[in-house]
């Protein structure tokens, strides 16, 4: 096991989901599906949807303010803001810059990370490196998404899955035994087409044809993603634990990306762990992509499922393909 060196610690958490709730029963009126079909196959009962005047930076700013309040810091104390998102307000500027302005963090450097559902884990690795290098002291990491804007609401295979929301964490260097022990990351661009938005970038700029063909919406090969997601997350967990000097037996709680209950059940089976050790809030929020893990972590702490001294593993899998896991002593 690693020596008791200083580590990056969580000083404050906050999350926000829009007020509007879209239930499975309402989706029944939009596409050929049913509440029973959605719930039994995904574990989702409802999801939150951003209002017409809300964009990703708006959700992120609320979560950011709540994390700052919990950490008892002012926005001007922040040195760095990282926003993990696949749905920024615009292609430029970065969503993080918009959040910086909204919350008044005038002293903070700001940039985005694009790793889809793995974005928060990727962001933890980046924040951890900056903090340990002493480049920045107070780092705000946010996962935020408005997937409702990139979903084809006529495609029943994807529109049932996703919701909007944001989660934020204030990170600092600490000299105690708590904090991030290790973050393990992986990627495989050979699977890029399994989860993609074909148009809107430099490969296929927006034009009449791309809009008519709905190429600006998310496209997913759900069957193939399912095949690799659980195994990818299991390998990430074991690798992260090994690098940190721990085993599965040492773990008190696992917070996985909330994508699909069947993927999480498969993960539990592969690792042969008790279901009680795995956090689920999927039914209430659906898949909120990069916001999924910080929202779940915040709720797990508030519900006292994660407590001081617990060894916690965060794990995710997403478009790219990307995956990652982080081992944390709370």
DSSP for residue 229? H
Gap between the Cα atoms of 317 and 327, Å rounded: 16
| DSSP sequence for 131-172 | HHTTS-SSEEEEEEEEGGGS--TT-TTTTTTB-EEEEEEEEE
Return the structure tokens found at 240. Answer: 């992260």
Which is the catalytic residue, given 24, 182, 260, 287?
Answer: 287
Active-site annotation holder among 95, 97, 138, 257: 257
The number of CA neighbours under 13 Å toward the Cβ of 63 is 36
**Alpha-carbon radius of gyration of the chain:** 19
**In the chain, which residue ranges form alpha helices assigned H by DSSP?**
24-28, 35-42, 56-71, 95-103, 119-132, 208-212, 222-244, 261-271, 282-285, 292-302
Structure tokens at 67: 């994390």
* Structure tokens, 188: 């495989």
How many CA atoms lie within 13 Å of 62's alpha carbon, on the beta-carbon side?
A: 17
Catalytically annotated residue among 95, 97, 117, 159: 117
For this structure, is 287 an active site residue? Answer: yes
Is 298 among the catalytic positions?
no
- Decide if 97 is catalytic: no
Half-sphere exposure of 254 (CA within 13 A, CB side): 31
DSSP bridge pairs for 179:
329
Q: Catalytic residue numbers?
A: 117, 257, 287
């Amino acid at each position: 096991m690693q020596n008791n060196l200083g580590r990056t610690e969580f000083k404050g958490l906050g999350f926000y989901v829009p007020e509007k709730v879209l239930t499975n029963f309402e989706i029944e009126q939009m596409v050929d599906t049913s509440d029973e079909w959605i719930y039994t196959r995904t574990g989702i009962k409802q999801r939150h949807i951003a209002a017409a005047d809300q964009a990703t930076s708006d959700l992120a700013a609320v979560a950011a303010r709540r994390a700052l309040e919990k950490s008892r810091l002012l926005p001007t104390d922040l040195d760095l803001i990282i926003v993990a998102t696949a749905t920024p307000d615009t292609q430029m500027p970065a969503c993080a810059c918009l959040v910086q302005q909204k919350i008044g963090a005038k002293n903070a450097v700001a940039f985005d990370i694009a790793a889809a559902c793995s974005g928060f884990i990727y962001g933890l690795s980046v924040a951890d490196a900056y903090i340990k290098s002493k480049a920045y002291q107070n780092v705000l990491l946010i996962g935020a998404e408005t997937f409702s804007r990139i979903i084809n609401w006529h495609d029943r295979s994807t529109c049932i899955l996703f919701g909007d929301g944001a989660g934020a964490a204030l990170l600092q260097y600490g000299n105690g035994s708590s904090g991030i022990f290790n973050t393990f990351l992986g990627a495989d661009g050979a699977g890029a087409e399994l989860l993609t938005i074909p148009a809107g970038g430099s490969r296929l700029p927006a034009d009449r044809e791309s809009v008519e063909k709905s190429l600006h919406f998310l496209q997913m090969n759900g069957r193939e993603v399912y095949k690799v997601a659980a195994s990818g997350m299991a390998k990430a967990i074991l690798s992260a634990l090994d690098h940190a000097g721990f085993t599965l037996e040492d773990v008190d709680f696992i917070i996985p990306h909330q994508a699909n209950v069947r993927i999480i059940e498969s993960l539990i089976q592969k690792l042969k762990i008790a279901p009680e050790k795995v956090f689920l809030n999927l039914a209430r929020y659906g898949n909120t992509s990069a916001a999924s893990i910080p929202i779940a972590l915040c709720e797990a702490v508030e519900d006292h499922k994660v407590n001081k001294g617990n060894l916690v593993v965060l794990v995710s899998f997403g478009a790219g393909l990307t995956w990652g896991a982080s081992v944390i002593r709370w």
